[in-house]
Structure 1
Amino acid sequence: METIGPAAGRNAMGPLRRLLWSRETPRPPIRRGPWVYALPVGLLALAGLGGAAATYLGENREAAGIAIAVIAVGSVAPVAIAFRWPVLAWRFGYVMLFIGSMNATAKEPWPWNTVQILGFLFVLGRLAVTQDTALTVWAAAFTVVPIFAYAPEANAWGAAVLVAVITVMGDIVSRWRRARRLLAENEELTELERAKRAVLEERARIAREMHDVVAHHMSMIAVRAETAPYRLGGLPAEAEQELATIASAAREALTDMRRLLGVLRTGEGDAPRAPQPGFGEVGELVETARAAGVEVSLSYADVPALPETVGLAAYRIVQEALANAARHAPGAAVAVTARGDGGRLELEVSNAADGPAGEGGHGLSGMRERATLLGGTLTAGVSEGAFVVRAVLPVEADE
């Protein structure tokens, strides 16, 4: 035979405490939307219903005017409270079920006036929609107590069924709302993780490509330092020793770079071994896009000689911008412009789409990451009816 442990008791008593005496956190107020304008109308309607309840009580019950006023106010006040404090509204309405039956006569089908009945059912539904299942079940269980205590037995069973239906329907709506909220949160988290992963993958790719570029120069330094005594001849012993030290340091730096690159690789031998493209291959990139059916124009203006790192970044930016244009704005004409301005290279890729093309894609994050790593900037957005990607890359002379 199973026994109910302390944890199960706490799980059951927690919702009961929240229902009966724990302090309730108010729900956020309505600040915008059509409901803001409906609020004054709703308050006027509640005032009218309170007056109708007072009239009914005055005609059917022998009670003092103050008692009638209290019951009338207590019939509609929980409805007004329920929008921000549904639990507090249920507590108020539940107490009024006992007070509202005061001096009820036999000619009344119910010991409560109609406004109070409808108002309390609304409060119960609001509670079921906004609270968890356990608290709602406790509220429904307490609700049937005054029903069976004051209402005729035939009416009490029908009212109990109605309470159960409202509770179940409200709980279904509550679960549906929670499921939608959790789904939206999961989608947002998934999108954030996808964006972070895209940036990390692009950084790893940039690191591999920069390794290929820098490794070439380091290898050349090592080779030239090692062969200098044979090529030049007659060098002092100190100069030969200095050149040997330079060659050794270059070899060690190259080994460390390859070791770091191994950490970045996603698999054995999956990194490209072909020479990395540069700015000189942008023309071939444009021709490839034209062969794929994209209408592309290319123009240069005073483009200086570019370091390999800058040329590679420029090539990748143009490549990603052309891919975005083809993917998000098919059929639109694309213009690629490159111009030198002092010590920097300005790139601009625009398409004649009517709206933004791929503005929220992860490719823009990768392009921006490339420009930032070189000390440049990249912007993307709609300008004069076209989606424009602008990159400014600083140009430093090769040393």
Structure 2
Amino acid sequence: MSSSSATRAPLWVRLPRQLGRDYAYVLPGFFISVFAFVLLIPMLSVSLGTFIVWVGALLLPLTLVLAGAFARLSRSRLRHWGVDLPRARYRTKQPGMFGWMKTMADPRLWLDLVFETLIAFPLRTLTFSVAVSWTATTLGGLTYFFWGMFLPEDNNGLVELVLDATSNGAIPSSISGSFALEAAFNFVTGLVFLISLPAVLHGLASLDALVTKAALGNDGGPASHGAQSGQPDLPPWSSYQGPRPDSVANRSTQETEHSEPHVARFASADGWAWLTTTFAAVVLLAISWPLFGVLYAVPVVLAMVVAIVHSASLVAAVRWPVVGMVGNAVAVLATAAVTASTLGPPWPWPVTTLMVHGFVLLLVALRRPWPYAVVGWLVASAAPLPAVFLLRTDVSGGALSSLIVAASVSAGVLALGILVRQQLLGRSALQAARRASAEESAQRRELQERNRIAQELHDVVAHSMSVISVQATTAEYRLPGMDERTAGEFTSIAQSSRRALTEMRGLLTILRGSADAQLVPQPTLADVPALIESTRQSGARIEFDVRSGRDSLDTDVPAATALTAYRVLQEALSNAVRHSPGSAITVGMDVSDRGIVMDVVNGPADDAASGSAVPAAPGAGLGLAGIRERVEALGGSVHAGPTDDGGFRVRAELPVG
């Protein structure tokens, strides 16, 4: 939520900054929710009321689209506040009137509508009221000395009432009712509220953010990485059908994070499970408690305990299904026991108890394998039997009917949950199979492309290098009378070409994806002197200066760093020989515990040798770009550019640690 520089800032700097962010998030949210509630509720009512005459069929998609727009605004505000919210996933809109009406089939839009009308408005009303009240108390207490003197004097203040009650009037009213004492008390109160204001505002903003993220987030599926990659939410009317920002690695990581296959969820199933179960638990608690006390004559405290245990079992089933099922069975047995003395109302299954029992079974059946739900149904259905046979000697037909109805209704709910889960799991498995097939096809196309590149390299580069090697090797036999220096040049050319051919064969093997690639040793810093000497054999004048505080150049140097340093020097020398023939080259290398510093400087081309300069090949400059990428990948830096005398300089710094 904050950058590292903000974290290092002093406390008196961070607190006002965070307080301003919390105010900017909490206060406007209330007015946005009021506007959304006032707009969406009438539109939804009119849409449903006129649906039978087809007017609502046109107005309801507009209502859903507006709800999606408000939800996108909520997500944007949440991200601006600092929460890394995944990108929401909407169905792609199809063209025409039929596509407009199919907007009603997008479940994400319906969830947006539920959130903006039933959840966001009461939540933000609560956070706004607490924030305004806390702020007003803070300002009012700190400034009471300025405006309190204008209050009517015949009204007793809070301090005076408290002192009179605690001292039985022993403290004179001139002291207990003094304005100075009242102002001091209000100032201390305002100061306490001021000190706690940042924590309270941040808690209110965090509560809003927690509920909003749970309701408007995603489940970590294929579309969940857009926020991290900077992709905005795709609105429901978007026709975007391009590639998603997820990768094969991301999908495989997500699939291994779960111990069992999950259903194909279009929204945050966990978040909405918590929200809906909490809402249902609160509503059923508010109904069950007075129902047990009034209709079944259960003592108030006992009715409260039983109702709370049963409602809590519903919420616990979201995270701990076994705990939820056990709590449900215990609450069912307790309900049958405490309501057994009352004749007339439904017993041993009151309506609210049957509703909570059905919700628990449905939740467990949707989120866990079917044996969990079946065991929960059997245990809870048998839970009231001890109370039936022990607390009532005559089992009436009403009790038997209640048991049969409860078992039948809960069995139907159980079957519905199991069927829905199996259908969603089937869809999830089908989507996983399609993704695996698509990944396999992509890998096959990649392998074909690599084979094509390998074939091109073999036909073009390897063939040319083979010709060079053969010509250089046979030169002394085909050209009699060759002096020793010229023969040495051809021998050096033959060795370089054979070495290049060996590296080319290994590269071709890797490109073809073969597991039989030759594991030849990679160059290290110890091979740098040989590189300098082989380059000198081409006629280059090289001055080499190495400074090292180690026993040898490659001592304790990571293999990747040593190879990169070798390739940088190889590229710099190659460029100097090709583009500035005959010029003097200075190579400086400093190897220390801090890192490796290489400095390659060549002067301008020698006029006598410039006539034999090799023309630049297409793509010149790619070598420097390549070594820059390799060096920066290790955390180093490369600086390359012309010098004042017309030469060129390459300086590279590589960390060793």
TM-score by length of 2: 0.33
Q: Which segment is superposed worse, 153-162 or 255-264? A: 255-264
Conserved in 1, the CA contact under 8 Å of 2:348 and 2:402?
A: no
Aligned twin of 2:426 = 179
Matches within 5 A, 1:227-376: 228-229=475-476, 232-236=479-483, 243=490, 307=617, 310=619, 343-344=620-621
Residue 177 of structure 1 deviates from its aligned partner by: 2.9
**Structure 2 vs 1, CA of residues 76 and 227 (structure 1 numbering), >3 Å: closer, same or farther?**
closer
Given that 1:53 and 1:113 are in contact with CA atoms closer than 8 Å, whether structure 2 keeps it comes out as no
Residues 216 and 159 from structure 1, CA distance in 2 versus in 1: closer, same or farther, beyond 3 angstroms?
Answer: same
Partner of 1:103: 339
SS of residue paired to 1:213:
helix
- Aligned match of 2:214: 31
Contact 2:362/2:414 (<8 A) preserved: yes
Match of 2:370 in 1: 133
Q: Given residue 130 of structure 1, which amino acid in structure 2 is its aligned partner?
A: R
Residue 121 of structure 1 deviates from its aligned partner by 0.9
Aligned-pair CA distance for 1:136:
1.9
How far off is 1:174 after superposition? 2.1
1:94 paired with 2:329, answer yes
Q: Deviation per CA, 1:91-116, whole angstroms, max 9, x where unpaired? A: 21210111111232231232233212
Partner letter of residue 56 of structure 1?
A: L
Q: How does 1:199-210 map to 2 (within 5 A)?
A: 199-210=446-457
Conserved 8 A contact 2:348-2:384: no
Provide the residue aligned with 1:160 in structure 2: 407
Taking structure 1 as reference, are residues 163 and 254 closer, same or farther at Cα in structure 2, changes over 3 Å only? Answer: same
Whichever residue aligns with residue 179 of structure 1, its letter is: G
Superposition deviation, residue 233 in structure 1:
4.0
Q: 1:213 to 1:373 in 2, by over 3 A?
A: farther
Gaps of 5+ in 2: 1-209, 218-267, 389-397, 514-613, 631-657
- Note if contact 2:293-2:303 (Cα within 8 Å) is conserved in structure 1: yes
CA RMSD of aligned residues (A): 4.6
- Describe the shift of the 1:99–1:38 C-alpha distance in structure 2 as closer, same or farther (beyond 3 A): closer
Q: Does 1:52 align with 2:287?
A: yes
CA–CA distance in structure 1, aligned partners of residues 458 and 339 of structure 2: 91
Displacement of 1:57: 2.0
* Aligned residue in 1 for 2:102: none
Q: Is 1:114 matched with 2:114?
A: no
Instruction: State the 1:122 CA deviation.
Output: 0.7
Q: Which has the higher contact order (CA 8 A, sep 6+)?
A: 1
Deviation string 1:132-188 (CA, Å, 9 cap, x unpaired) is: 122222112212213555372233233322222222221122223333334444444
Cα distance in structure 2, aligned partners of 1:197 and 1:160: 55
Q: Which amino acid aligns with 1:103?
A: T
Matched, 1:220 2:467: yes
8 Å contact kept, 2:285–2:308: yes
| Distance in 2 of aligned mates of 1:96 and 1:257 | 75
Q: How many residues align?
A: 257
In the alignment, which residue of structure 2 is the partner of 1:66? Answer: 301
Relative to structure 1, the CA distance from residue 193 to residue 373 in structure 2 (aligned partners, 3 Å threshold; closer, same or farther) is farther
Identity fraction in percent: 28
> Per the alignment, do residues 243 and 124 of structure 1 end up closer, same or farther by CA in structure 2, a change over 3 Å counting?
same
State the partner residue of 1:334.
none
What letter matches 1:154 in structure 2?
A: S
CA distance in 2, matches of 1:373, 1:190: 34
Deviation string, structure 1 residues 29-86 (Cα, Å, up to 9, x no partner): 8623299799889867654543332332223334322112223333433334344444
Structure 1 length normalisation: TM-score? 0.50
Q: Kindly indicate whether the alpha-carbon contact (under 8 Å) linking 2:288 and 2:352 is maintained by their aligned counterparts in 1.
A: yes
- Answer whether contact 1:82 1:123 (CA < 8 A) is retained: yes
Tell me by how many angstroms 1:126 deviates.
0.6
Amino acid in structure 1 at the alignment position of 2:289: A
Query: 5+ unaligned residues in a row in structure 1: which ranges?
Result: 1-27, 267-303, 311-342, 346-370, 378-399
Which residue identity lines up with residue 202 of structure 1 in the other structure? E
- Amino acid paired to 1:167: L
Question: How far did 1:193 drift?
Answer: 4.5
Distance 1:374 1:176, change over 3 A: farther
